Amino acid sequence: MHIPDGFLDLPTALATGAMASAGVGVALWQAKRTLPARRVPLLGVTAAFVFAAQMLNFPVAAGTSGHLVGGVLAAALLGPSAAVIVMTCVLVLQCFLFQDGGASALGANIFNMAIVGGAGGYAIYASTRRFAGGLRGVVFGAAFAGWCSTVLAAVCCAGELALSGRVAWRVVFPAMAGVHMLIGLGEGIITALIVVAVARARPELVDVRAEITRPGQVLALGLIAALGLALFVSPFACEWPDGLEKVAAKLGFEHFVSEKPMMPSPLPEYGLPGVKGAWVTPLVGMAGTLMAFALAFVLARVLTPKKEI
């Protein structure tokens, strides 16, 4: 999901950069006020951990492999503002030393994966873990938030690519969202498995009773994530098929926009073949979400012992 250089035009790069700086600024300010000094090295070491974890691949299917992104994992174990800082550092280092993700797209990548993926993921984790109690709730929340944050970040990424006018929304949205609905399953499962493994080894690191740390903390970061989603995604979502054309005409790059889909895809326009109408896309999205929700629930049941110790 790392956007390379050249895929974002300068206005989009600047806008995402501004949103990312705002989010990271808020996270740093909050961390400065609430993070105890002894946790400072933990941020750096966790960032190194996430980087190392991303280098270990697990087999998926047909010879492909995936790896952890880690935003929700960091958020579940350290809290939202720490997760934003950790993921930002991971992305900065990946950009400078690994050339994974472009320098001009650094703002977009930080916004998608650190702020939407980390802080947004934390909001989902914190609100869904209440569906079950104790460790089971934590595992369920982590699995579901892992899936959601991957899909949300991908949708954000699609919006930014489309806003730059390089790729049409109707091409990039189904591709990104569809692929990441599958990748998200892997992220959710691996996140849940790691949380369980950590809870087994050092139960005090996974605080099952901890209440949501200061609602204001989540609110401020969540607000920025929501604002970014509104900025980068809603121009396309509100007037479903024609949103991009309108934006394209306004910004003057309509020649990039395709008139009709070039390839008959198995799920054309991200919907079921034969079913027409704007309601299909939200329906597919909803079905996917429900499936992930159910999967997270099953996972939580299977992975945690019957009786809480």
Partner 1 sequence: MRHDFLDRYSRQDTPTHRASAEAKLTCGLAVVALTVAAPLDALPYFVALASALVAVALAARIPLNYLGVRLLWMEPFVLGVGVLTLLQPQGWKVFLGIVVKSTLSLVTMAVLANTTPFAEILRVLRRIRLPALLVTTLALMYRYLFVLVDEAERMQRARVARTFDRRRLYSWKMLATVLGQLFVRSTERAERIYSAMLARGWK
Of the pair 34, 127, the CB lying nearest partner 1 is at 34
CB of 112 to partner 1, least distance (A): 13
CB of 208 to partner 1, least distance (A): 16
CB of 134 to partner 1, least distance (A): 18
What pairing do the DSSP bridges indicate for beta strands 58-59 and 65-66?
antiparallel
Distances (CA, A) of 211 to 101, 127, 245: 35, 10, 45
Of the pair 27, 132, the CB lying nearest partner 1 is at 27
d(Cα 45, Cα 37) in Å, to the nearest integer? 14
- Please state the φ and ψ torsions of residue 70, each to the nearest 5 degrees: 100, 0
Of the pair 100, 237, the CB lying nearest partner 1 is at 100
CB of 41 to partner 1, least distance (A): 4
CB of 207 to partner 1, least distance (A): 13
Of the pair 127, 254, the CB lying nearest partner 1 is at 254
d(Cα 13, Cα 19) in Å, to the nearest integer? 10
Of the pair 78, 231, the CB lying nearest partner 1 is at 78
Of the pair 67, 127, the CB lying nearest partner 1 is at 67
Of the pair 268, 283, the CB lying nearest partner 1 is at 268
CB of 121 to partner 1, least distance (A): 17
CB of 260 to partner 1, least distance (A): 9
Of the pair 100, 280, the CB lying nearest partner 1 is at 100
CB of 104 to partner 1, least distance (A): 5
DSSP string, the chain: -PPPTTSS-HHHHHHHHHHHHHHHHHHHHHHHHHS-GGGHHHHHHHHHHHHHHHHS-EE-STT-EE----HHHHHHHH-HHHHHHHHHHHHHHIIIII--S-STTHHHHIIIIIIIIIIIHHHHHHHHGGGS-HHHHHHHHHHHHHHHHHHHHHHHHHHHHHHTTSS-HHHHHHHHHHHHHHHHHHHHHHHHHHHHHHHHH-GGGS-TTPPPS-HHHHHHHHHHHHHHHHHHTHHHHSSTTTHHHHHHHHHT-GGGS-SS-SS--SSGGGS-TT--STTHHHHHHHHHHHHHHHHHHHHHHHHS-SS--
Distances (CA, A) of 74 to 122, 186, 210, 224: 9, 16, 15, 19
Of the pair 256, 279, the CB lying nearest partner 1 is at 256
CB of 246 to partner 1, least distance (A): 17
